[in-house]
Amino acid sequence: MGITLAALESSVIATAMPTVIKDLGGQQLYALPFALYLLTSTVTSPLWGRASDLLGRKRLYLAGIVIFLVGSVLCGVSGSMAILIAARALQGVGAGALQTLTFTLVGEMFTLEQRARVQGFFSGVWGIAGLVGPLIGGLIVDHSSWRWVFYLNLPFGIPALLLAARFLPSARPARDGRVRIDWPGALLFTLGSGLLIWGLEFREWLLVALSVAVLAGALWVEVRHSSPLLPMKSLRATLPRVGVLGNLLSGAAYFGTIAYLPLFAQGVGGHSATAAGVILTPMLLGWTSTSIIAARVLGRIGTTRLTLWGFNLLVVAFVLFSLLAHAPLWVISAVGFLAGSGMGFAMFTLLISVQQATAKPDLGAVTSAILFSRQMGGAIGTALMGTLIGQAAISSGGGPLADGLQRAFVLALVLVVVAWALAQTLRKAAPAARPSAAD
């Protein structure tokens, strides 16, 4: 139920946003509800993971659901884009707990072989919710008010809260004095990431330069902290490093594309909000189906080959996106299926292989780093693509919007090509990347 919440919110909002900006105004702020949600869910996820080591998973999981639902209600009652953006940021804080603690619990409760099957199941749950989310969102927007897109979270969130309170084990965390929350690193990462997203969104290049300096300071703190949010020592190894960078680059390309495809359907193709939601369905279907397939064949094929298959598909998909920006809706949807399939193979198997190669004391931190990098990539990609498309094209639609989307797709192609090149280094780590019963 918790994963359903996070999946619905990540897909439904993209369908609703063109209608939201017509109602509330603020076309120049189109990307911020996406970017800030991804930003707050990203920068808080390592904090949730570290804090759960001290306070217990269950307590913080319940707190995350409550924060998420409060943010949803505030989104629904928003009377301006400023209030909506702030409420989306609060939602993201809760989403950071739902995603991070779910995967931390899976890594903690299951063996490696069980973990692949269980995470495959969670991918299926995520995919089903993501598939119906855009369609439901489009139907709500077409036949009711966009506000019900946010109220839709309550029928899922309240049962999730009750089920977790009743059935999730209440284990007392072990406190040996070595685990400390990295507040300086968290503050620097939050400040640097916020400056980066804001600077990219409004083309304030001085803020972008400042964000780079702040993020460099955050990395300096991380290297010296006893319990860093990002486990720098573990990330020096090839497999975790490729896992983090691959998720960062691919997340920027994929989630940036998801943010703007509904705008393509409505602003270029002239389709309804329902059709705009349907355009995302093949991408989510591809991710879901290949994640489930990967869980089934992981032991026979190995994570290295599956990961490389995924990045190959991503490169092909974004080559086609770059060439077919003016193509009909069904063509874009078919290419989206390829992109989603590439993400399913690459992201699922990278997570499994990185968890396998990581010592237990760093398992939660490395898992958080993978999720952090993917979501941070999405926030950066959404802002960068918005900059390339241009506010004038977003407002006018038609040919200028299609041209802007083509520039954004070329950027996404460059990002996935770099990720593909990094993934080739996994061939050297292939013997360590194949799960076995002994593990």
Least confident of 270-284, 325-339, 408-422: 270-284
Residues 164, 218, single domain; the answer is no
Q: What is the pLDDT of residue 388?
A: 86
Mean pLDDT over the full length of the chain: 81
d(CA 142, CA 118): 36
Q: Are residues 217 and 319 in the same domain?
A: no
Lowest mean pLDDT among 243-252, 312-321, 362-371: 362-371
The per-residue pLDDT for 303 is 81
Q: Give the pLDDT mean for 270-274.
A: 66
Q: What is the pLDDT of residues 64-92, one digit of tens each?
A: 999 999 999 999 999 888 899 999 999 98
* Interatomic CA distance for residues 49 and 179, integer angstroms: 11
Percent of the chain with pLDDT over 90: 23
392 Cβ neighbours under 8 A, 6+ residues apart: 400
For residue 436, being part of any structural domain is answered with no
The answer to which of 24-28, 141-145, 154-158, 413-417 has the lowest mean pLDDT is 24-28
Check pLDDT > 80 for residue 235.
no
Phi and psi torsions of 252, nearest 5°: -60, -45
Please report whether residue 173 resides in a domain.
Answer: no
Over residues 323-351, mean pLDDT: 88
* pLDDT band at 398; cut points 50, 70, 90: confident
pLDDT band at 436; cut points 50, 70, 90: very low
Q: 182 CB contacts (<8 Å, ≥6 apart)? A: 50, 221, 222, 225, 227, 228, 229
Question: Does the residue 177 lie in any domain?
Answer: no
Instruction: Inform me whether the pLDDT recorded for 52 exceeds 60.
Output: yes
pLDDT at position 370 over 90: no
**Interval 122-157: pLDDT, tens:** 877 777 776 677 677 778 888 888 898 889 889 888
pLDDT of residue 432 exceeding 50, the answer is no
So what's the pLDDT on residue 174? 55
Among all chains, which residue has been given the structure tokens 């995350």?
64
State whether 214 and 354 are in the same domain: no
Instruction: Tell me: do 303 and 423 sit in the same domain.
Output: yes
Residue 319 and residue 201 in one domain: no
DSSP for 320-372, written as a single string: HHHH-TTS-HHHHHHHHHHHHHHHHHHHHHHHHHHHHTS-GGGHHHHHHHHHH
Least confident of 23-37, 146-160, 209-223, 231-245: 23-37
The per-residue pLDDT for 195 is 84
Q: What is the pLDDT of residues 281-336, one digit of tens each?
A: 788 889 888 988 888 888 788 888 999 999 999 999 999 998 987 778 888 889 99
Tokens of 177: 């004095």
Last residue of a domain, which of 209, 226, 243?
A: 226
This prediction has a pTM of 0.77
Residues 98 and 192 in one domain: no
pLDDT at 123: 73
Q: Is residue 138 part of a domain?
A: yes
pLDDT beyond 80 at 185 = yes
Q: How many domains does the chain have?
A: 2
pLDDT above 50 for 437: no
Q: Which domain holds residue 197?
A: 182-226
Report which of residues 83 and 43 the model is more confident about.
83
The CATH number of the domain where 291 resides is what? 1.20.1250.20
Is residue 380 within 8 A of residue 38, CB to CB? The reply is: no
pLDDT over threshold 80, residue 269 = no
Q: DSSP of 55-85, one letter per residue?
A: H-HHHHHHHHHHHHHHHHHHHHT--SHHHHH
In a shared domain, residues 214 and 90: no
Residue 438 covered by a domain: no
The answer to whether residues 124 and 271 belong to one domain is yes
Q: Give the residue-averaged pLDDT of 231-246.
A: 84
Of 59-68, 79-88, 185-194, 395-404, minimum mean pLDDT range: 395-404
Residues 135, 197 within the same domain: no
Mean pLDDT of the region 350-359: 80
pLDDT one-digit tens code per residue, 165-179: 998 877 655 555 555
242 and 213, same structural domain? no
pLDDT of res. 435 = 44
Q: Is residue 265 domain-resident?
A: yes
- One domain, residues 288 and 400: yes
Residues 250 and 294 in one domain: yes
Interatomic CA distance for residues 141 and 149, integer angstroms: 8
- Interval 96-117: pLDDT, tens: 888 888 877 777 777 767 777 7
Q: Can you tell me the mean pLDDT for 341-369?
A: 81
Which two three-digit tokens encode residue 400? 């200028």
